[in-house]
Structure 1
Amino acid sequence: MATQKESLEKLRIAIYPWFAIGHIGSFLPLAKKLAQNGHHVYFFIPSKTLSKLSLQNQYPDHLTFIPITVPLVDGLPAGAETTNDVPDSHVGFLLHAMDQTRDSIETRLTQLKPHIVFYEFAYWIPELGLKHGFKSVFYALSSMASLAYFAPNLKEGKRSSIDELVAPPPGFPTQTFRMHIEEAKGVTKICENADNLGLGITMPQRFFIAFRDCDAIAVKTCMEMEKVYIEYVEKVFGKPVLLGGPMIPNPSSSKLDEEIDEWLNGFEEGSVVYCALGSEVVLHIDQFHELVLGLELTGRPFLAAIRPPKNHNKVESALPEGFIERTKGKGMIKGGWVQQQQILRHPSVGCFITHCGLGSLSEAIMISDCQVVLMPQAFEQFINAKMMSLELKIGIEVEKGENDKLFTKQAIQTTVSLAMDQDSQIGKEVRNNHAKLKEILLKDGLEDSYIATFIQSLRDLL
């Protein structure tokens, strides 16, 4: 237990996320909440990526971004810093580059003398903690349901087979949902892409060590949503799970981009479909076409923030023939980053099609009243989507083909209609469930209570 002196002092906390924009952005709410409470947070981030986040630092006296140089390793393109800069088949080179930062990170940590270091892919952080006297906390970016689904194999450090992934593990709290075969194949492919380059440690070994050696596991969730999964994860790993609570996004001080704001202002309240698949998703051209044509088929105004498909540099060059002319004035496609929180808060937005990353789901639940359409693309997103649609019942998942598990334009159109049509019973059910959960998570004092307990739990580790 922490001494009285330790309980009173402000903590020094370092954060080292994986080199992916989505991961970095998901660590940021944690950093802000800790800094908001007066603790000193040091956030390691690739140097060129820093410019994308520096304007989001509302607590410069307590939150310090520390730029790091990503080493140039054989196979990694010059200047590559994040997963946005490399194809899926080359992610292993970026993992190797992160591991090569160990010495420089150790040097900085000896200077900063943190009490706690949060990490995920940098499995060697706990070893540095033993050497330099800080505690290491694995920060899980997935839902607890998703982590629970994979937990037994993560603990054993073995690569999951497709058959193992399709069915929930022994003792899993519910049999309501399971993965499809094609989804399971996608998960195993992610590990294979990282491991086939022969650069040392495999992904299963990386996570085996990361979970085995950490002092605690932390996650952005709460008992009100995931009690049974939290208890299951604690049992499997034999580690305390520290709950950050809902971590309600702070209102952004920046105004919505003028072009987007003016465009949205031209439509009725709750009429626009907003689609965003995250900063990591790059679709094949056929799925890209199915998505944009599905948005067109809805007959509703739509705003889509999606990266150019594979082998295309710009979204515009990949759009189907005649698409721009047919959707002029009614559809807007953005190929880069957009201000998602401000868009979700806009009264004209009535539906959010999401890839089911935890950050996007949190924003959909807590800062918006719009209907949620679930279109998971990879890994833990598959489980997140099933928990949201089958258990919490606050969203509707887009059905995919039985054999290939690819989505179609017709399935997108059908799901949006189920969500948004006034006479849809399913739409009414998910709207009511969404409203109830939002009310619970935004209850006065709930978040403050979780953050206070979370910080005390960090002190108790010391």
Structure 2
Amino acid sequence: MGHATPFVHLANILAEKGHSVTLLLPNKAKLLLQSSNLYPSLVTIQTITVPHVDPLPPGTQTLSDIPLNLQTHLATALDRFRPEFESILDKIKPNLVVYDFAYWVPEAVAASGIKAKCLTYCVTYASILSLDMVPSRDPPKDKTVVEENACVACNTPPGNPTTTVTPSVPKKHRSFLDEPRGEGVTFYQRVTTALKCSDAIAIKTCREIEGKYCDKLSNLYNNKPVLTVLDLPEPKEENLDTRWAEWLGRFAPDSVVFCAFGSQIMLNLAQFQEILLGFEMIKLPFLVAFKPPIGYATVEEALPEGFAERVGDRGVVTGEWVQQTQILAHPSVGCFVNHCGSGSIWESMLSKSQIVLVPQLADQKLFSKILVEEVKVAVQVERGEDGSWVSKESLCKAVELVMNEESEIGILVKKNHEIWRKKLLDPGYMRGNINSFINDLESLVFG
């Protein structure tokens, strides 16, 4: 959902300028996001079929439905959707096709004979995309899907889909590049082929923070245009579910710690319980929205022994989807502990809550470092010697650091955060950002 939501926002941006948009979403995502369609007369949300791939559970449609270890099979399902996509493409005959991980889109467009531009829209960070990515070991010598379907759109030769990319990703971040993402395709091949074969790259970011990384990304991919867009609707307090509104309303302003790790992250039982024990230590009211840990159907059955009785009404742990933006806008929320996912970061930047980061994935770890060390709007929870374990003590320490009004670090990040919040919420800044993006996009498509 963290990837689908920005595509809906992008559709709204285009529709506001009078462009007609067809948005392809599986039914589950459509049901959750159709209320965010601000221009139903111009934006058509078309339901697509997600082919079943073993061993995915029946009915799997989004990453939110599965643990991380099954992602590769959903990527296979995405690739098997290609024939349906080609049929849709033939009927719509668009001027522009926007995609992310469907690296074969430019090839399909070129083969169709349609004179359309292809835009890779990345909702992750320019900082990680601008790294010269190579896997930590040589790719397999046998044929892969990427090799068999070399990108005719950009004349990529078979067996060499990413010839312009050279190594410099830190070793500790390289292992994920080797991971399969579909049949015969690694994560590395999927991402770099998608970027190389597009006519331009769009990124959900702002140049004031990631400008140097955007320029580096452009240089890395033969000076390909990099368009930045940051559509951040102002958060509103209204429409928050009664349950959460009533619970949050019991506490003083800026006193509640809210924690969410997005719709993908699924912790193991030990880490899940350790983090909850950390919130218990903080002695502040807290709301934690986590997926159940691996091997458990509900969060309730995985709680630490005696945890519910000890925290009482002071803390709530839920495995349900929650209205993150509305919760962050509530005056009682004073701290947001999150995984540094793109959607969560920009939402937290618009909120008044202090930001504590517990990054989980490689791109999140890299951008967390930027926010902590360069932008100085957040603190990151320290991990153990292995670089992965988050102790209850380290979590408690980080939260108390930003919630303590006399803490020098807390004062600094709060001051910087407020400067950025006002900048991002300034109507002139946001309008200028969107207008610049639209102008660049129209120049790309219409010349």
TM over 0.5: yes
What are the equivalent positions in structure 2 for 1:326-341 lying under 5 Å apart? 326-341=310-325
Conserved in 2, the CA contact under 8 Å of 1:89 and 1:194? no
Cα distance change on mapping 1:32 and 1:252 into 2, 3 Å: farther
- In the alignment, the residues of structure 2 paired with residue 73 and residue 99 of structure 1 have an alpha-carbon distance, to the nearest angstrom, of 11
Is 2:299 the partner of 1:312?
no
- Select the residue among 350, 354, 371 that pairs with 2:334: 350
256-265 vs 59-68, which deviates more? Answer: 59-68
- Select the residue among 391, 402, 410 that pairs with 1:419: 402
Deviations 1:160-184 (A, max 9, x none): 469xxxxxx9999xxxxx9684xx2
Equivalent position of 1:449 in the other structure: 432
> What is the TM-score of this pair, normalised by structure 2?
0.88
Equivalent position of 1:242 in the other structure: 227
Deviations 1:93-121 (A, max 9, x none): 21111111111111112211211111111
Q: Alpha carbon RMSD of aligned pairs, Å? A: 2.2
Conserved in 2, the CA contact under 8 Å of 1:249 and 1:363? no
- Select the residue among 188, 196, 216 that pairs with 2:175: 188
Deviations 1:52-94 (A, max 9, x none): 2222222211222111011123433322112233333322221
SS of alignment partner, residue 313 of structure 2: coil
- In the alignment, the residues of structure 2 paired with residue 355 and residue 69 of structure 1 have an alpha-carbon distance, to the nearest angstrom, of 30
Cα distance change on mapping 1:455 and 1:97 into 2, 3 Å: same
Q: How many residues are aligned here?
A: 416
Equivalent position of 2:201 in the other structure: 217
Letter in 2 for 1:308: P
Deviations 1:31-69 (A, max 9, x none): 222223332221111123321222222221122211101
- Select the residue among 14, 21, 36 that pairs with 1:34: 14
- In the alignment, the residues of structure 1 paired with residue 167 and residue 185 of structure 2 have an alpha-carbon distance, to the nearest angstrom, of 29
- In the alignment, the residues of structure 1 paired with residue 105 and residue 188 of structure 2 have an alpha-carbon distance, to the nearest angstrom, of 17
Equivalent position of 1:407 in the other structure: 390
- In the alignment, the residues of structure 2 paired with residue 303 and residue 26 of structure 1 have an alpha-carbon distance, to the nearest angstrom, of 25
- In the alignment, the residues of structure 2 paired with residue 180 and residue 419 of structure 1 have an alpha-carbon distance, to the nearest angstrom, of 32
- In the alignment, the residues of structure 1 paired with residue 68 and residue 167 of structure 2 have an alpha-carbon distance, to the nearest angstrom, of 33
- Select the residue among 420, 425, 442 that pairs with 1:437: 420
- Select the residue among 191, 210, 216 that pairs with 1:207: 191
Conserved in 2, the CA contact under 8 Å of 1:270 and 1:349? yes
Moved over 3 A (4+): 169-172, 178-181, 250-254
Conserved in 2, the CA contact under 8 Å of 1:389 and 1:396? yes
Cα distance change on mapping 1:171 and 1:201 into 2, 3 Å: closer
Is 2:286 the partner of 1:299?
no
Higher RCO (CA 8 Å, separation ≥ 6 residues): 1
Task: Note the residue ranges of structure 1 that are not aligned, 5 or more in a row.
Answer: 1-20, 163-168, 173-177
- In the alignment, the residues of structure 2 paired with residue 189 and residue 229 of structure 1 have an alpha-carbon distance, to the nearest angstrom, of 21
- In the alignment, the residues of structure 2 paired with residue 44 and residue 433 of structure 1 have an alpha-carbon distance, to the nearest angstrom, of 39
Conserved in 2, the CA contact under 8 Å of 1:179 and 1:382? no
Conserved in 2, the CA contact under 8 Å of 1:307 and 1:315? yes
Letter in 2 for 1:142: T
Conserved in 1, the CA contact under 8 Å of 2:136 and 2:178? no
What are the equivalent positions in structure 2 for 1:57-96 lying under 5 Å apart? 57-96=37-76
Task: Note the residue ranges of structure 2 that are not aligned, 5 or more in a row.
Answer: 139-164
Displacement of 1:254: 5.8
